[in-house]
């Protein structure tokens, strides 16, 4: 039986991008029959939404695309999370810088979109997942599409 890889997605408030990434990767892994190989969670670098649900637009775009998941927002806990997760996958360069400043082990931190094969060789500043919070439903769908592609690439690589 293969070992389990633990993955932590990280964004700013943990209500849009990182919960959606968690849901998309878990969905794709399950469909491919490898869901039991992963433990997937998400968190935010900020504290504003701790204990609350995902943004309703996050859940709407997920459901429209056949992805179902539950979510309660939480803030990263460096003392626990940096020990508990094999991979720490921030959504953008600012989240990555914040994680490294908090002491995340650099060798386990990688921008999630770097797994998208269409972006192979792209500079890091081009690998961010934009925060859709101030946008409309189209912005959430665009983020979903980015996360879908990165998830496919991730599963092909591991």
**Active centre residues (catalytic):** 11, 17, 131
DSSP H stretches of helix in 14-136: 17-31, 56-64, 78-84, 93-101
Cβ proximity of 155 and 38 under 8 Å:
no
116 Cα distance to chain centroid: 13
Q: Which two tokens stand for residue 130?
A: 């934009």
How many whole angstroms separate alpha carbon 59 and alpha carbon 87?
24
Integer Cα distance of 67 and 21 in angstroms: 11
């Amino acid at each position: 039986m293969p070992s389990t890889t633990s993955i932590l997605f990280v964004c700013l408030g943990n209500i849009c991008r990182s919960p959606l990434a968690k849901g998309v990767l878990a969905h794709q892994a399950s469909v491919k029959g490898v869901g039991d190989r992963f433990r997937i969670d998400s968190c935010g670098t900020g504290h504003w939404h701790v204990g609350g649900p995902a943004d309703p637009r996050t859940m709407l775009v997920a459901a429209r695309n056949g992805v179902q998941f539950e979510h309660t927002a939480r803030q990263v806990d460096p003392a626990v999370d940096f020990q508990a997760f094999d991979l720490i996958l921030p959504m953008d360069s600012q989240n990555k810088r914040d994680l490294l400043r908090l002491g995340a082990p650099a060798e386990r931190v990688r921008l999630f979109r770097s797994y998208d094969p269409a972006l192979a060789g792209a500079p890091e500043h081009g690998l961010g997942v934009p925060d859709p919070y101030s946008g409309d439903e189209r912005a959430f769908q665009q983020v979903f599409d980015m996360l879908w592609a990165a998830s496919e690439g991730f599963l092909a690589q591991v």
